Amino acid sequence: MPNEETIVLCHACGCDISDDVSMMGADEHDYCCDCWDARFGYCHVCDEQFNIDELLSCDAGWVCAECNDDDDVTYDPNRQTGCSDYSKMGSQRCFGVEIETDTCNGHASALRGSVWGAKNDCSVNGKEFFSSILNGNAGLEAVAKIASVARRNDWNVDDNCGLHVHFDMRTENSDGMKSIALAYLLSADVWSQFVAEERRDNHYCGPNNTDIGELYQTDNFYAWTGRQGRYYWINFAAYHNHRTFEVRSHQGTCNEKEICNWIRGHAIFMDWASNAGWAKVRNMFLTADTAGRFDIIARIWADAGADDLVDYYKDKAEQYQTEDSCCDNW
């Protein structure tokens, strides 16, 4: 039986709103979407919520006073000029990449004026490099360029560093995004075996506590994402701010193959889940064990012409072997 609808009052206008579509303000009161948009916003740098009059406009977007004082953005990326070749990528979905580093000597002269920007991040000793919106084979080539710079200049990452990838949801409708979200919630055990153990319960990318029933019942996906936490391995809250889903679980790396395969694997999986729909995703993943779920994902990749990903992530799962390995059937 579905839960009975809970009605709350908007703290600003006093209208009745379903708890399913209400939004929590920075003052921890409930608001309708219109009143929230008029009063609150997110800092582009730290992604925290603030009253609208506490945010400042700059080249990077809206920022809070602290991030503005830090002069956090070293330089901004140029836009990618477009792409018509998706043969290697296997998906036309746009993406953006964030690479955290411990050391990054020679980055400014090598990357300034490229599709990569750089900024300080309080969680790492080096810079966080962030791309413009990328897509297709040209996007993968942009990753190859920064990986080449990192290799030539002996960049390093440590256990504090992560690789975050944003995947574009601007062309998805609510049903498509709900199906993608469900696919990730039901296959989290598989994806977790492709990353280092220390990332699985990391404060910045831990397991999601998302209520699947609430996800299914929501009729306002935008408001639902606004109530999700940011620091989960699959960050649905990114849609509320950036119209993306962010995959945060991968450990820090500057390796071209690791980054590009991670991007390709997720983009192809998201395309499949959106097209499959809620019922098919649920029926395929819900009763399968970890090895069976890996088999489903492997077939999705193979059907998209990305057979190389199957062997690559089979090896990754064996490298980061756990008691309930997704490779048990292979």
In a domain, 24, yes or no: yes
Question: H or E segment at 56?
Answer: strand 55-58
34 and 122 assigned to the same domain: no
Considering the domain architecture, whether residues 37 and 120 belong to the same structural domain is answered as no
Instruction: Please give the pLDDT value at position 202.
Output: 87
Q: Which residues of 224-245 are buried (b: 16+ CB within 10 A; e: fewer)?
A: bbbbbebebbbbbbbbbbbebb
Considering the domain boundaries, does residue 67 fall inside one?
Answer: no
User: Is 71 a member of any domain?
Assistant: no
Q: What domain count does the chain have?
A: 2
Helix (H, G, I), strand (E, B) or coil at 282: helix
Together in a domain, 121 and 24: no
Contact 239, 225 (CB under 8 A): yes
**Residue 326 counted as domain residue:** no
48 in any annotated domain: no
The per-residue pLDDT for 76 is: 80
Q: Do 159 and 101 belong to one domain?
A: yes
Same domain, 240 and 112: yes
Residue 325 lies in a domain: no
Question: Is 19 in the same domain as 110?
Answer: no
Question: 91 and 191: one domain?
Answer: yes
- Residues 25 and 157 reside in one and the same domain: no
Which of helix, strand or coil describes residue 297? helix
Quick: pLDDT tens for 61-104.
567 777 665 444 577 888 887 788 999 999 999 999 999 999 99
Report whether pLDDT(59) > 80.
Answer: no
Q: Are residues 12 and 88 in the same domain?
A: no
Cβ atoms of 42 and 51 within 8 Å: the answer is no
Residues 205, 298 within the same domain? yes
Residue 175 falls inside a structural domain: yes
Would you place residue 36 in the very low, low, confident or very high pLDDT band (cuts 50, 70, 90)? Answer: confident
Q: Give the C-alpha separation, 253 to 150, whole Å.
A: 10
Quickly state the pLDDT bin for 16 (edges 50, 70, 90). confident
State the pLDDT at residue 40. 87
5-9, 58-62, 231-235, 270-274: least confident range: 58-62
Same domain, yes or no, for 217 and 158? yes
32 shares its domain with 176: no
The answer to the question of residue 328 being in a domain is no
Residue 165: give the domain boundaries: 79-319
